[in-house]
Structures are given as C-alpha cells and as structure tokens.
Chains A and B, each alone.
Chain A
Amino acid sequence: MTIPPVPYAIAPESTDTVSAEEQQFNDLIAADSRIEPRDWMPEGYRKTLIRQISQHAHSEIIGMQPEGNWITRAPSLKRKAILLAKVQDEAGHGLYLYSAAQTLGISRDLMTEQLIAGKARYSSIFNYPSPTWADMGSIGWLVDGAAICNQVPLCRASYGPYGRAMVRICKEESFHQRQGFEILLELMNGTPAQREMAQESVNRWYWPALQMFGPPDDDSPNSAQSMAWNIKRFSNDELRQRFVGMLVPQAEVLGVTLPDPDLRWNEEKGVYDMGEIDWTEFHEVLAGRGPANARRLQRRRDAHNEGQWVREAAAAYAAKQAVKAVA
C-alpha cells in the first residue's frame, strides 16, 4: 500500500513528494526494523496504534471480571491462589499496554475516561457471563489460547514499545492456557456431572473464542494497512485457521467435542473446514448488546469511582512530600 516516492528532481513541489522523515519511516518499515516513540511517524500509524493498544489494554482490564467472579468461590485454596495470580497478571498486562499507548501521546486518564464512558472498545469475548467453574477452564484454554495465537505475531509488531509489552505478556499467558486446560481435564476425568459441566462450558465459549480473531478477511477494512505497516503479520482468517488446527488434537486429549458439526479435516488443503460463524452475534455484542456488556462497564465505572479518593490522596501526599523535600 506504499506509493512509490516521486523522484525529487522531477516534482520538487509535488504533494506526492515524500519528506526526509517520512522516507526514513518507510525505510525502517521496509527493512522490518522498529519504530520508537521519538521517531517521526504518519498520523494514521499513530492513531491506529493508539486505537489498537488501548483497546487491547481495556480488554485485559475488563477481562479480569469474568474470572474475578470466581475468586471467592474457587473449589480449593490452591485454585483460589492460582486464579488470583492469573487475574493479577491480566491487570499487569493492561498496565504494560497502557504505558505503551502513553508513549504515543495519549494520557492514561483519557483512556480510562473513554473506557468508562462506553466510547472505547474491548474484546467482545468479555461480555459473556461465566456461570460455572468449568468456565474458568474454558476461558484459560479457549479465550487465552486464542489470545496467545493472536499475540505471538504481535511480539514482532513494528512499534517497539508494543512489541516489547507483547513479549512479556506472551510469556505469562502460557501459564493461563495450561491452567485452563488442567481445570477442564480434571473435570473430564471426574463424575458424569462434572464432564457434562465441562462440555456445556466448551459449547458456550467455542464460537465466541473463534470470533476473537475479528471479522473475516473480506470484511476487515483496516487489516491491509496494518499489515503494510508491519503491525499485523497474519490475517484474521489465517490466525483463526491456525487456532482451530491446534484445538482439535487438544480437544481429543480432553475428550470434549467441539460444537461444530461441519468441522472436518480437508485432506486437499491440509486444514480443517469449519462451519459458518454467526457474525450477527459478533456485531451485536460489539455494539453493546451482548449478555454482560452493561454489567462489565458498570463494574469498571464503580471501581474507578471507588478508587478516586485513593488516587487523590496519593497525589496529595506526593505533592506534600515534594514541598518538604525542597524546604
């Protein structure tokens, strides 16, 4: 999508002429190098990254809720400690990403404001409720699994701070996916009621997890530009296909059935054929009409308001100490 630069000698006044700094940016991208915060970058690149990184951060923060729901009701002390560690990781991931977005010139407070005002998006997956303990398994296995599949290529994103944040996140996510898998495996080795609970949960999370990769390629308007800028490395459909390819053998180990009657191996293409994804549901949830959208945002808003006095007190204390230090 890069337009070849017009040679300076021919059209010095032309608006098509690429400035020296833009040329440097283009060269860095062409060399698959990294852009750092103080480098010149096109406005569109900056905006795309702010949107993507802040949405990603919001997803981590809102993503604490479906699991936070089970901390007080985890079936053992060990499970509770693991779940606490996992939810704390999600908070950490949100903070790494907010910091990365801040290097692009947006303030933390503005991002929070956009989120609690309902103006910012986050992954639609977190607008589904988590009514059973098996959901802790499905979220780890399917939701974190899909997230890892999406995020591993982002470690090579052209914007340095984003890529570095993703490296840390990916390292930590692998524990999340494995612990989810273990929860499901234990349930599948349990009583018939426990097996049923695991299967029912997988049935609910499977399709929303596949939707996490975003709309199909022919309906993903920003993808081409993001790929040209080396932010995105693979298309939505490619990543979704790769994910399903990994899930099938894992589901066999678990002994669960993936709820897609059309799922079968295509010998010729060397991939799994899948059934149609319900994109109407995806768009409904994105538009705020999912099963838990209102509840998630309200919880985030309450937490922010309830923390107001803490933030103010900490800032006032810091100001007072700074005055003392001068005196």
Chain B
Amino acid sequence: MSAPGASEKEIWPLWEVFVRSSRGISHTHVGSLHAPDATLAVRNARDLYTRRNEGVSIWVVPADAITTSDPDAKGAFFESPAGKNYRHASYYTKSEGVKHL
C-alpha cells in the first residue's frame, strides 16, 4: 500500500518532515512537502516549517519509505495490551498512603 500522498502521478515525491524544536527533545512530525530530492526537501522544509525559529534540526523521509501497521487490522493488532492494566502503576492501590511508592 503506497503512502497517502505519494502516488505515481506525482512528478516530485512527497516527504515527511520531522523537526527537533530544541536540544534534548526528539524530532517530531510537523507535516509533509513535495520536493525532487533529499537536499531540496531539507531546504524546502527549512523554508516551510521553520520560518519562526521552530527548530534546530530537520529530518526528511520519503513518504513511501515509511512502513505502517495495517490500518484495517487496528483492533486486532493493538489488542494485546488491552486488559493488562497491571502494567500501569495505577493498578496497584493497596499501597495508598505509603510514602515514596
């Protein structure tokens, strides 16, 4: 399945853009753009997504290089954590009132 927006009909491919807003923070997806190659994609991303000091670093990834979980199998794919609330600290209530726990 091709990535949304990355189709054969496009003369320039679509790129997904990730920006690190400051040191110590991970790159976050901010949007997409189209560009002929990776070098121009980075430049376009700078002009398009960091006009107001939004970032200190940019990643661009060809949209069709991203592999995704099957959207139709959403329920089944993410089922296993359901019903396993013992994985969360909030499951354990008997220690209530005890400090530093």
Contacts and interface: CB of A to CB of B under 8 A. Distances in A.
B75 to A, nearest CB: 9
Interface string B15-43: 00000000000000011111011001000
Interface in B30-80: 30-34, 36-37, 40, 47-48, 51-52, 68, 71-72
Contacts of A283: none
Given A38-B4, A314-B36, A109 B10 contact: yes
B71 A38 contact: yes
A164 B5 contact: no
Chain A interface size band reads: 20 to 34
Interface string A71-104: 0000000000000010011001001100100111
A217 to B, nearest CB: 33
A45 interface: no
Main SS class of interface, B:
loop
Contacts of B40: 314, 318
A317 to B, nearest CB: 7
Interface string A26-56: 0000000000111110000000000000000
A88 B47 CA distance: 9
B12 A99 contact: no
A92 B51 contact: yes
Chain B interface size band reads: 20 to 34
A251 B80 CA distance: 59
A321 interface: yes
Contacts of A322: 37
Interface string A102-128: 111101111000000000000000000
B98 interface: no
Given A311-B12, A321-B37, A107 B32 contact: no
B36 A317 contact: yes
A315 B12 contact: yes
A304 interface: no
A47 to B, nearest CB: 16
B11 to A, nearest CB: 6
A92 B7 contact: no
Contact of A164 (B4, B31, B51, B71): B31
Given A110-B9, A315-B11, 4 more contacts: A99-B33, A102-B5, A168-B30, A314-B37
Question: What 4 A-B pairs are tightest by C-beta distance, nearest first?
Answer: A37-B4, A102-B5, A318-B37, A107-B9
